[in-house]
Amino acid sequence: MADIKTEEGKKERHYVYYDGESVSGKVNVTLKKPGTKLEHQGIKVEFLGQIELYYDKGNHHEFTSLVKDLARPGELCQNITYAFEFVNVEKPYESYTGANVRLRYFLRVTIVRRLSDIVKEMEIIVHSLSSYPEINSPIKMEVGIEDCLHIEFEYNKSKYHLKDVIVGKIYFLLVRIKIRHMEIGIIKRETTGSGPNSYSDNETVAKYEIMDGAPVRGESIPIRVFLAGYDLTPTMKDINKKFSVRYYLNLVLVDEEDRRYFKQQEIVLWRKGELTRKTIQQSAPVESK
């Protein structure tokens, strides 16, 4: 199981599934009073994947929709259990709840009735696994202000898994301004929409000071950032042409007059792992009541 944020910012725990895994379980229909009858026009279970943009709440963009009929129209006279299975379901994207968008997967059971349907939904979480990227070159850049400041920074990789450690160094080649301190941060940028209608929301996920006091020419400052302690998701690029999530390392220098000098560098985050038979066997079934 895993945690995922709700729209209200609270955390909920649900079963985790992966792309290509079957989703199976049981639907228990229980009559409120023994001896009563329930007329219906059919019972069905659906597996749905949706993207919901918060500024367009009434519109759900479905990218996955599977339906199985559990019962034909008729009458229920006693409690009953229906087994169901969606075999080898394609789940192309990672579950995500952000500032302006939500991507969710859920099971929905509907008992169709003449006046009002009885509907029950159950969320599941989908994680997208990746193997180690073949090309993972280090990041090396020189930045500065002419005749005032010249620094070189280096990060060991450009792609990191969610439990990885960012290791790097900052070299001061020229320092002619009075720097008070330096900090490094991880910025998450969520972009919804496209073209002129796109909107970006920046969130500082992590920030801490890596230097206090004025550096001198030739000084080297080490960087070590442990990603495991932060609430991060994999990088998501143009998901279903609706949204993207990107991450940046943000290096900030503050001088004695509170002027800020910063440089951002994009990094790619991914969820480490490969789908195996063992992974599939360990996943628990979903049961809706």
pLDDT at 285 over 70: no
Q: What is the pLDDT of residue 287?
A: 47
The whole-number pLDDT of residue 46 equals 97
Inter-residue contact 76 to 38 (CB < 8 Å)? yes
Closest to 234 measured CA to CA, from 271, 206, 273, 267:
271
Q: Is the pLDDT of residue 194 over 90?
A: no
- Can you spell out the DSSP letters for 205-247? EEEEEEEES---TT-EEEEEEEGGGS-----EEEETTTEEEEE
Cα distance between residue 176 and residue 217, in whole Å = 9
Alpha helices in 30-93 (DSSP H): none
CA 129 to CA 127: how far, in whole Å?
A: 6
pLDDT given at position 276: 44
Query: Which strand (E) or helix (H) includes residue 279?
Result: helix 277-282
Residue 123 near residue 10 (C-beta atoms within 8 A): no
Confidence of residue 55 (pLDDT cuts 50, 70, 90): confident
List the Cα angle 276/277/280 in 5-degree steps. Answer: 95
**Average pLDDT of 132-145?**
83
- φ, ψ for residue 197 (rounded to 5)? -95, 10
Label residue 24 by pLDDT band (50, 70, 90).
very high
**Position 176 pLDDT exceeds 90:** no
**Fold matches, 2-126 and 139-270:** yes
What's the pLDDT band for 149 if we cut at 50, 70, 90? confident
85, 177, 179 from 145: Cα distances, Å: 62, 10, 13
Two tokens, residue 150: 């010249």
- For residues 189 and 248, the answer to whether their CB atoms sit within 8 Å is yes
CA atoms of 151 and 141, how far apart (whole Å): 8
So what's the pLDDT on residue 188? 96
Q: Taking Cα atoms as reference points, which of 46, 131, 121, 51 lies closest to residue 92?
A: 51
Please report the pLDDT score of residue 182 as a whole number: 87
Q: Please state the separation of Cα 125 from the chain's center in Å.
A: 10
- CATH class, domain 2-126, is mainly beta
Report the share of the chain in percent with pLDDT over 70: 94
Q: Is 106 exposed, middle or buried (0-12, 13-18, 19+ CB in 10 A)?
A: middle
- In tens, the pLDDT along 196-232 reads 778 899 999 999 888 888 788 888 889 999 999 898 9
Q: What pTM did the predictor assign?
A: 0.86
Indicate whether 275 pLDDT > 70.
no
**Residue 212 and residue 189: Cα distance in Å, rounded?**
28
Kindly report the average pLDDT of the chain as a whole number: 87
First vs last C-alpha separation in the chain: 19
What are the sequence ranges of the domains in the chain?
2-126, 139-270
Count of CA atoms in the C-beta half-sphere (13 A) of 236: 27
The mean per-residue pLDDT over the stretch 229-255 comes to 92
Pick the CATH number of 139-270 from 2.60.40.640, 3.40.640.10, 1.10.150.120, 3.40.50.880: 2.60.40.640
- What's residue 274's pLDDT? 60
Tell me if 50 sits within 8 A of 95, measured CB to CB: no
